[in-house]
A and B are shown apart, each in its own frame.
Chain A
Amino acid sequence: MRRLEPAAIGGVMSREVANFRTFWKATTFSSVLEPVVYLLAFGLGLGATIVDRVDGLSYVEYVGTGMVATAVIFSSAFPAMFGTFVKERFQRTYDAILAAPVDVEELVTAEMLWIGLRSGFFGCFPLLVSMLFGLDPAPGMLLVPLFAFITALIFAGFGIAVAASVAKIDQFNYVTTLFITPLFLVAGTFFPIDQLPEAVQIASLLNPLHHLVELVRHACFGFETWDLLRVAVLIAFAVAMWRVAVHRMEKRLID
């Protein structure tokens, strides 16, 4: 049998779809409400009292477009980390799947693709909500689901690799504090990173969320040539994290 068979990947994804049908309402509810809360708190609260315009944008536009990255990391890294750990350790779902003609590479690929698709979809919600708060639609926005999808693949791979590496679920706290929160804060979602120390600015070039934030803003207000390079960087990160996730899961799942 070939490697990466579409039938195996599709089969694993069909399991995810079957499960998702049982909890889609809760996910959709939080995906819509969370950006509303953030926009009210930061956009209207901070924007109306302390911050006027950032990089030529109203603070609502600035935060609304940046929030796509927040939605993507929260809807990809966390489901990947917790979902993978629970399926592996408690539900023993992967034992069942790997007893069928599916290998670890196909399993991980399917999980990443599903999380990527879900995040690509729900990651657009902040943009839609921002439109209700005054963000003007633009043709470039049609590419936002694609950018969100590629970035979500990175964090899905990251989450799966982490889940396959930790011994206890509590250890996710270290990962959240040491990696996810800093990535989320220095992505340029709530404030421009060009006000940060130069070293942090250089480091932010390795932050996929920063590239996503820039791509989304440019999709809304006009692309730049450099954006092609940003897309290439995101794709390179996604491929690298895919291989790391496959490797870690093989170590974890095959005795």
Chain B
Amino acid sequence: MSLALYVCLKIRKEHSPFVNYVVWRAVAAIEMRGVVKRFGAITAVDGLDLEVPPGICLGLLGPNGAGKSTTMRMLTGQALADEGSITVLGHELPGEAKEARAEMGVVPQLDNLDVDVSVEDNLAVFARLYRVKDVPAAVDRGLALARLGGRRRDPVDELSGGMRRRLLLARGLTHDPPLLLLDEPTVGLDPQIRTELWSLIDSLRTKGTTILMSTHYIEEAERLADEVALMTHGKIISRGKPSDLVAQHAGRETAEVYAPPERLAEVRANAEAVGLKVRPAGPAIAIVGAEKATNGVVPPEAIVRAASLEDVFVLLTGEEAE
């Protein structure tokens, strides 16, 4: 670490915007080293190493129970690691968790808005919690971001599901944080609302906000993330740009074969005999890396398509993709 950065880290308690900006741009937004979290006999996070450089959107992709939400909770200090070290925006956790939370925004998986309270009051409360000096201006910014200016005095329980999700996102951004944690941001939403939220998240990424987004939706990770970290059983098993992960683990082409079970078993055996990876794909099987297949291994009835992140996900995690 350079002397200048060390000095910046030490004097940032003065809350100088310039010093904070220097720190946010110079250090990894998130650094987790050998992090372990156990709940009794269950190890939810198992020696996790994760670094998120500033300015990128990292998708933490994994099946349910992979340890994504526990990882998110550890980053806010709501869960304490049993082993390892965690640094967020240069703040060491758990000792400086409050300082770290002051500089990050969190959008939870489950809606925890105050439903009887108006839209603007929901935003105002969090502007105060985040020590925003000009609360009315922060509320107006939030309303504009969530596109809820016309509903500012309505109670939250009168909003649609999509509006509530937008409000949750705006609530996490009332203090304009350099780092945003999104925990399954579109889980349970219909495709139209999901697309709407993706545009909103995309605009934040373009603006330079560092985003760590946990998701179990392949499409979401592909659409939003600069890099994807595949997580299962509490560990990162692979990480890279979506296209690099596909090239590394799934090759160029995947052949999907739809046929009766006996025929599928025969095709699978042929493909595996020549060292190709085969995965289930609903009622079909998918031969991954089909471009490397020798004659006859990929049957003529197969549908050949470009390999995808879904292929990588299923191959590496052993789980069906959503």
Contact = CB atoms under 8 A, between A and B. Distances in A.
A91 interface: yes
Interface stretch (A60-68, A98-106, A113-121, A162-170): A98-106
B241 interface: no
B112 A101 contact: no
Nearest to B171: A96
Interface string A84-104: 000000011101111111110
Given A1-B102, A92-B112, A97 B129 contact: yes
B43 to A, nearest CB: 13
Interface in B114-151: 114, 116-118, 121-122, 124-126, 128-131
A164 B121 CA distance: 27
Nearest to B104: A99
Contacts, number: 91
Contact of B155 (A22, A91, A93, A255): A22
Do most interface residues of chain B lie in helix, strand or loop, or is the interface mixed?
A: mixed
Interface in A1-59: 1, 7-8, 10-12, 14-15, 18-19, 21-23
A255 B79 contact: yes
A240 interface: no
Given A19-B116, A100-B106, 20 more contacts: A11-B131, A12-B129, A15-B125, A18-B117, A22-B117, A92-B110, A93-B112, A95-B108, A95-B112, A96-B126, A97-B129, A99-B108, A100-B101, A101-B101, A101-B102, A101-B131, A103-B97, A254-B79, A255-B37, A255-B70
Contacts of B70: 255
A131 B181 CA distance: 56
B78 A99 contact: yes
Contacts of B130: 100-101
26 contacts: A1-B99, A7-B128, A11-B126, A11-B128, A11-B131, A15-B114, A15-B125, A18-B117, A18-B118, A18-B124, A19-B116, A23-B116, A91-B112, A92-B108, A92-B112, A93-B112, A95-B112, A99-B76, A99-B78, A100-B101, A103-B98, A253-B78, A254-B77, A254-B80, A255-B78, A255-B80
Nearest to B113: A96
B114 A254 contact: no
Interface in B68-108: 70, 73, 76-80, 97-99, 101-102, 106, 108
A97 B76 CA distance: 11
A101 B110 contact: no
Contacts of A97: 129
Contacts of A255: 37, 39, 70, 73, 78-80
B169 to A, nearest CB: 13
Given A18-B121, A92-B110, A7 B131 contact: yes
A8 B129 contact: yes
Contacts of A103: 97-98
Contacts of A1: 98-99, 102
A103 B101 CA distance: 10
A95 B125 contact: no
Contacts of B126: 11, 96, 100
Contacts of A14: 124-125, 128
Interface residues of B, number: 35
A254 B78 CA distance: 5
A253 to B, nearest CB: 7
A96 B99 contact: no
Contact of B117 (A19, A96, A254): A19
A86 to B, nearest CB: 12
B303 to A, nearest CB: 44
A66 B55 CA distance: 63
Nearest to A10: B128
B99 A101 contact: yes
Contacts of B122: 18
A98 B78 contact: yes
Which of B77, B99, B113, B114 is packed against the most chain A CB atoms within 10 Å? B114
Interface string A225-255: 0000000000000000000000000000111
A91 B117 CA distance: 13
A233 to B, nearest CB: 34
Which of B102, B129, B172 is packed against the most chain A CB atoms within 10 Å? B129
A134 to B, nearest CB: 40
A10 B79 CA distance: 25
A91 B37 CA distance: 25
B110 A11 contact: no
Interface string A65-93: 00000000000000000000000000111
Contacts of A98: 76-78
B9 to A, nearest CB: 15
Contacts of A99: 76, 78, 101, 106, 108, 172
Nearest to B79: A255
A154 to B, nearest CB: 27
